[in-house]
Amino acid sequence: MNKVVRIKDIAEKANVSTGTVDRVLHNRGRVAEDVRQRVLKIAEELNYKPNILARALVNNKIYHIAALIPDPAHDNYWQAPKAGIEKAEEELQQYGMRVTQFCFDPFNAESFVKEADKVASRSFDGILVAPVFYRQSLSYFSKWKRQGIPFVLFNTHIPNYEPLMYIGQDSYQSGFLAAKLLHYGSKEKGSFVVAHIEEDVANSSHLISKEQGFVDYFVTQELESKYHTIQIDVQSSAQQTITQQLDKLFKANPDIRGVFVTNSKAFVMADYLAQRKLQQVDLVGYDLIEENLAHLNTNRINFLINQNPKGQGYWGILGLADHLIFKKKNNPIKYLPLDIITKENLHYYIEADQ
């Protein structure tokens, strides 16, 4: 009793063969309409669920996936998504997944185009891409769409091209959260800084979203009179050194209570604060990269917001596998949680085996 329903069970009940049931279930045609209806009805009644194990077993095709991601050599952050991709590949390789990585320089749009062209010139069964260059990405999306190649976006969302899935960050909300953390830590009147470090802000919409979320926190709570937010753009390529730029900032604003760094470069600010012995200034940033962790452990960084970058790569590949191998439908958007990381809960997130 309570046995799992198989195609064979449906076939027996409908007085047809398993081949017919299969044709009905997969809409392969060549089946009489009345039989079709009957089979469909019985499958429904018996609550038939295909056995994905058997399905994956029989379907021993090799699926070639392209992963188009920034090169960790240029920005350490991308080590994590890469690791997630590789973990998923390892788990799924016995079911036929083969991932080829195409790494581009995240600071060089041409490099992206070059790698994307490589991907486009071969025929892949699926593509995972971190489309950090908005303009340059679009033509590839429409091409893949036309060719019917499923592609999954992560890290940066670009709607309108209906990717199979988007996985990643809610930038605005993370800025909002950062504001809450700094606000909670500084009950007295003062200023907060939103710092973009070593970034081309104009071309990075997610940084603007983060800043907007940060500012909006104080607006929606009607705290603007109590807390002042200052935006700053720090570049080592500028005329002044970073230290000089920050000296200027802190000199002009002696009431700074906290700093929000919108990318993974919080350690730069932490170095500065340590150097100037500004111990009372709180600091919130992003990403569990090594340079940041050192400061987290010494409390020079109070919180890091983490968006499970390893998980982004992992779930991206898994999403493609669900589609290609297991024929399972997935939610087209998967926002990963905004994890708040501090020294005391850090280790659960870096050991992260999932």
Give me the residues that bind DNA (CB under 7 A), please: 4, 6-8, 15-20, 22-23, 25-26, 29-32, 35, 50-51, 54-55, 57-60, 327
- Binding partner of 38, given a second copy, DNA, none, CB within 5-8 angstroms per partner class: none
Tell me how far CA of residue 191 lies from CA of 183, 222, 265, in angstroms. 10, 15, 20
Residue number with CB closer to DNA (16 or 116):
16
Helix (H) or strand (E) holding 82, with range, is helix 79-92
The least CB distance from residue 21 to DNA, in Å, is: 8
Report residue 286 as tokens: 């992003």
344: which residues sit within 8 A by CB, 6+ positions away? none
For the record, the structure tokens of 121 come out as: 């010139």
- Which among a second copy, DNA, none contacts residue 348 (Cβ within 5 to 8 A by kind)? a second copy
Q: Among residues 37 and 236, whose Cβ is nearest to DNA?
A: 37
Task: Look at residue 23 and give the partner it binds from a second copy, DNA, none, a contact being a CB closer than 5 to 8 Å depending on partner kind.
Answer: DNA
Contact 295, 337 (CB under 8 A): no
Distance CA 115, CA 102 (A): 6
In the complex, the smallest distance separating the C-beta of residue 354 from DNA, rounded to whole angstroms, is: 24
Minimum Å gap between C-beta 25 and DNA is 6
CA 291 to chain centre: 21
CA atoms within 13 A on the CB side of 151: 33
Smallest distance from the beta carbon of 24 to a second copy, in angstroms? 20
Min separation Cβ 259 and a second copy, Å: 15
Binding site for a second copy (CB under 8 A): 2, 4, 49, 51, 53-54, 56-57, 93-96, 98, 173, 176-177, 180-181, 184-187, 217, 280, 282, 302, 331, 335-340, 342-345, 348-349, 352-353
166 neighbors 206 (Cβ within 8 angstroms): no
The tokens describing 110, both together, are 């041409």
CB 194 within 8 A of CB 215: yes
Beta carbon nearer to DNA, 16 or 324: 16
Cα–Cα distance, 58 to 1 (Å, whole number):
27
Task: State how far the alpha carbon of 270 is from the alpha carbons of 72, 142, 162, in Å.
Answer: 22, 43, 40
As measured in angstroms, the least distance from the Cβ of 150 to DNA is 17
> What's the burial of 314, exposed, middle or buried (CB within 10 Å: 0-12/13-18/19+)?
buried
Residue among 18 and 100 whose Cβ is closer to DNA: 18
- In whole angstroms, the minimum distance from the beta carbon of 315 to a second copy comes to 10
Pick between residue 41 and residue 347 the one whose CB is nearest to a second copy: 347
Q: Which residue's CB is nearer to a second copy, number 294 or number 336?
A: 336
248 binds, among a second copy, DNA, none (CB under 5 to 8 A by kind): none
Q: Which is nearer to DNA, 51 or 279 (CB)?
A: 51
Residue 340: contacted member of DNA, a second copy, none (CB under 5 to 8 Å, by partner type): a second copy
Nearer to DNA, 323 or 334 (CB): 323
Residues 6+ apart with CB under 8 A from 210: 171, 172, 174, 175, 178, 194, 262
Binding at 20: pick from DNA, a second copy, none (beta carbon under 5-8 Å per type): DNA
